[in-house]
Chain A
């Protein structure tokens, strides 16, 4: 009965809703209700249908009993959501008046009703989405679901929802005195509740606790095109239907992101699926169907422990938490700045397995970002650049060259023994593979400098190296420290010079070419002798 079904939070403009009400005795009735109704009004409507006095009904939603004066709108129900109704035995009926407040009443022991037919469905998360019923059923323990029900009831009365202790950063609310099954059930529930839901439950329990709650975050490509709070969903890996029983809860990102980690029993008739498949949906927009899923940004987390950003030292939420041992934290704004500045310097790392990516800004080991959608945070233009350069890196890694023509950069994989390269699919420029200058017959002549020079990141204007050298002194002695850039002779990445040394090392991580600022060719002994610095 830890049941929850909420549609998209922005949905349901109309106040009318049709919901299903399932009872602990296995009945299922449909009810039309108005979102302005209170729980008490629903009970009144249900009473005749369930042949039970309204006072004897309890409505359970999202693992919590809803108080009589709660308005349905606060529950964020979607059309065709499922509520759970539990009949309780009144004190007079039971003759155990001494038992005291109703919380003590044991729902399951009111088993003069035939609840055994229901099997293990008490702890059920349900969602109606895309016109399809989706259920996750946590299996009953062998001792029967009776215990689970009892526990659920007592939990419903207890104030705080436990944070998910295994998936979320920050202090875990450790007091898990209840049974294992139940904790797991409420764990799954908690991580799927909207802020509004959690707030309403906190409010109704007058719990003034920790403020923000953990969330999953996703990158919603269409239509939101931004970081959004995500909803974790699960379905059968075989038939993609939602009615399945998990054999255990997901406890970490591996469980959720790697297929086949969690076994399950599919309840869909004729399906013998045995594995759960997790996916994420964006909470920021109304779902457009079952294919409307989003990518989990597993590094983005609610900043519950209030860790300051390593770059700006402000405390904000959500934040990016890197996977290094120190779990370095950066706010989203600084993360974007970090990525863009590394992108501008072409300092992304080309990793064989992970592709074009970045590590923690401190450079910690084993901190490479594994999900490239995190780079979507840079915005469309930068992400496009990121993808292009990532492709180029792959070309270079495969033994190719990049067209040196300013603004082109087309990746070309030329014939092994041909020095003449034509940018056929790009700008058409024909160049020498060795010196990347315009194609020439005979030896490369580095002093020539007649190739397409690119200075700076933005424009493309040719600069006479000797003139640039001549103007250095003035620049260096001016009050503000100014910097100049020249393209790496090998890969054309603009490289900034801010020291007196003429010995340049290409900033692009995978190039690292040593070159001479003056000659704009490979760094040599002669360069050291002639103009090491100046």
Chain B
């Protein structure tokens, strides 16, 4: 399977295993080295604290010229993440550059959990509530974290 896998992906994978990003684990799939099973711990002090969020990350054929595809598998109440788990993050879109890495992406996602950005929404209704009634939005986010991201 690893045949034809670019050296860069191999190197990045090795480094991710050797020096994991704190609070994040990213493990390549046994059958597809371009597909990573990612687990992100909800950052302390955020409504996602205590939660364990599963994501999938896929390195497309053109990686690193094009960005990795990342998606939350665990349901999450967040203004920049939609119902299907897709993430609104500039470096996954137009701000992507081949000098960025899987590690950078994961760190940015972690940062997004710590600091939601309701002004650049993907999930419109969530963003709306986040702006109008942040307390309530945070309460729902906590509840979702308890319901979907804890205990399994």
A314 touches B7 (CB 8 A): yes
| CA distance in complex: A310, B93 (Å) | 19
Q: Give the distance to chain A from B26, nearest Cβ to Cβ, in Å.
A: 15
Interface string of B6-50 (1 = CB under 8 A from A): 111001000000000000000000001001000000000000000
In the bound complex, do residue B124 and residue A341 qualify as a contact, i.e. CB atoms below 8 Å apart? no
Of A7-15, A403-411, A477-485, the one contacting chain B is A477-485
Contact A500 B65 (CB under 8 A): no
Cβ–Cβ < 8 Å partners of B32 in chain A: 480
The answer to whether B99 touches A310, judged by C-beta atoms less than 8 angstroms apart, is yes
In the complex, chain A residues whose CB is within 8 Å of the CB of B149: none
CA distance A473 to B71 in the complex (A): 14
Not counting A473-B84, A477-B84, a sample of 19 additional A-B residue pairs whose C-beta atoms are within 8 angstroms of each other reads A310-B99, A311-B65, A311-B98, A313-B8, A334-B65, A334-B98, A338-B65, A341-B66, A361-B65, A479-B35, A499-B82, A499-B122, A500-B83, A500-B84, A500-B122, A501-B122, A505-B94, A532-B124, A533-B83
Residue contact A362 to B69, C-beta cutoff 8 Å: no
For B6, the closest partner residue in chain A by CB is A312
Our pick among B56, B99, B124 for the contact of A481 (Cβ within 8 Å) is B56
The 3 A-B residue pairs whose C-beta atoms are closest, nearest first, are A500-B82, A311-B98, A341-B65
Q: Does the CB pair A313–B7 fall under 8 Å? A: yes
Does any Cβ of A come within 8 Å of B123's Cβ?
yes
**What are the residues of chain B within 8 A of A337 when measuring CB–CB?**
62, 65
Bound CA–CA A481/B87 (angstroms): 13
Bound state CA distance, A532 and B66, in angstroms? 25
Instruction: Tell me whether B62 and A341 are in contact (CB under 8 A).
Output: yes
Tally chain B residues at the interface, Cβ within 8 Å. Answer: 28
Other-chain contact of B122, A328, A342, A480, A533 (Cβ < 8 Å):
A533
Is A476 engaged at the interface, CB distance under 8 Å to the other chain? yes
- State the B residues within 8 Å of A (CB): 6-8, 11, 32, 35, 56, 58, 62, 64-66, 69, 71, 82-84, 86-88, 93-94, 97-99, 122-124
Provide the residues of chain A in CB contact with B82, threshold 8 Å: 499-501, 533
**Bound Cα distance from A311 to B86, whole angstroms:** 25
Cα distance A198–B84 in the bound complex, in angstroms: 62
Known contacts: A337-B65, A338-B65, A533-B124. The answer to whether A499 contacts B88 by CB under 8 A is yes
Q: Are A476 and B84 in contact (CB under 8 A)?
A: yes
Would you call B7 and A499 a contact (CB within 8 A)? no
Q: Give every chain A residue within 8 A of B83 (Cβ-Cβ).
A: 500, 533-534
A363 is an interface residue with CB less than 8 A from chain B? yes
Known: A480-B35, A499-B93, A528-B124. A361 touches B7 (CB 8 A): no
The answer to the question of A290 belonging to the interface, with a C-beta cut-off of 8 Å to chain B, is no
A500–B127 alpha-carbon span in the complex (Å): 14
Minimum CB–CB distance from B141 to chain A (whole Å) comes to 18
CB-nearest residue of chain A relative to B124?
A: A532
Q: Smallest distance from the beta carbon of A347 to chain B beta carbons, Å?
A: 9
Residues of A within 8 A of B62 (CB): 337, 341
Instruction: Verify if A366 is at the interface (C-beta below 8 Å from B).
Output: no
B84 touches A311 (CB 8 A): no
Please tell me if the beta carbons of A480 and B84 are within 8 angstroms of each other in the complex.
no
CA distance A314 to B10 in the complex (A): 12
Which A423-478 residues have C-beta < 8 A from chain B? 473, 476-477
Query: Is A498 interfacial (CB 8 A cutoff)?
Result: yes
Q: Which of A491-522 contact B (CB under 8 A)?
A: 498-501, 505
Interface 1/0s, chain A 236-265, versus B by CB < 8 A?
A: 000000000000000000000000000000
Asked whether, in the complex, the Cβ of B69 is within 8 Å of the Cβ of A498, the reply is: yes
Distance in Å: Cβ of A529 to nearest Cβ of chain B: 9
What are 8 A-B residue pairs whose CB atoms fall within 8 Å in the complex? A311-B8, A312-B8, A312-B64, A341-B65, A341-B66, A362-B99, A479-B35, A533-B82
Is the beta-carbon distance between A361 and B56 smaller than 8 angstroms?
Answer: no
Chain A hits for B69, CB < 8 A: 481, 483, 498
B contacts with A: majority SS: loop
A494 to B86, CA, bound (A): 21
Could you tell me the distance in whole angstroms from the C-beta of A523 to the nearest C-beta in chain B?
13
Q: Chain B residues near A312 (CB, 8 Å)?
A: 6-8, 64
Question: Could you say which residues of chain A place their CB within 8 Å of the CB of B88?
Answer: 499, 501
- Measured between beta carbons, the chain A residues less than 8 angstroms from B93 are 499
Q: Are B99 and A311 in contact (CB under 8 A)?
A: yes
In the complex, chain B residues whose CB is within 8 Å of the CB of A362? 97, 99
Interface string of A291-325 (1 = CB under 8 A from B): 00000000000000000001111100000000000
Task: Tell me the bound Cα distance from A336 to B132 in angstroms.
Answer: 48
Give every chain A residue within 8 A of B58 (Cβ-Cβ): 480-481
Residues of chain A lying within 8 A (CB to CB) of residue B98:
310-311, 330, 334, 338, 361
Question: Inside 8 A of A338's CB, which chain B residues have their CB?
Answer: 65, 98
Residue pair B99, A533 in contact (C-beta under 8 Å) = no
Chain A residues near B6 (CB, 8 Å)?
Answer: 312
The distance in angstroms between the C-alpha atoms of A337 and B69, with both chains bound, is 18
Q: How far is the CA of A473 from the CA of B85 in the complex (A)?
A: 12
Q: Is the CB of A499 within 8 A of B86?
A: yes
- Please, what's the 1-or-0 string for A124-166, where 1 marks a CB less than 8 Å from any CB in chain B? 0000000000000000000000000000000000000000000
A499 to B99, CA, bound (A): 22
CA–CA, A501 and B83, complex, Å: 10
Min CB distance A230 to B, Å, is 28
Q: Say yes or no: B124 contacts A311, CB within 8 Å.
A: no
Chain B residues lying within 8 Å of A342, measured Cβ to Cβ, are 65
**B87 and A499 form a contact (CB under 8 A):** yes
Q: Is the CB of A498 within 8 A of B86?
A: yes
Q: Report Cα–Cα, A363/B86, bound state, in Å.
A: 25
Q: Measured between alpha carbons, how far is A330 from B8 in the docked complex, in Å?
A: 13
Would B99 and A361 count as touching, CB distance under 8 A? Answer: yes
Inter-chain CA distance A362–B64, complex, in Å, is: 12
A361-B98, A480-B58 are contacts. A500–B86 as well, Cβ < 8 Å? yes
Alpha-carbon distance A529/B148, docked complex (angstroms): 28
In angstroms, how far is the closest chain A Cβ from the Cβ of B130? 15
Taking a contact as CB atoms under 8 Å apart, the answer to whether B8 and A481 are in contact is no
Chain B residue numbers with a CB within 8 Å of A476 are 71, 84, 86
Q: Which of A376-431 contact B (CB under 8 A)?
A: none
Measured CA separation A505–B7 after assembly (Å): 33
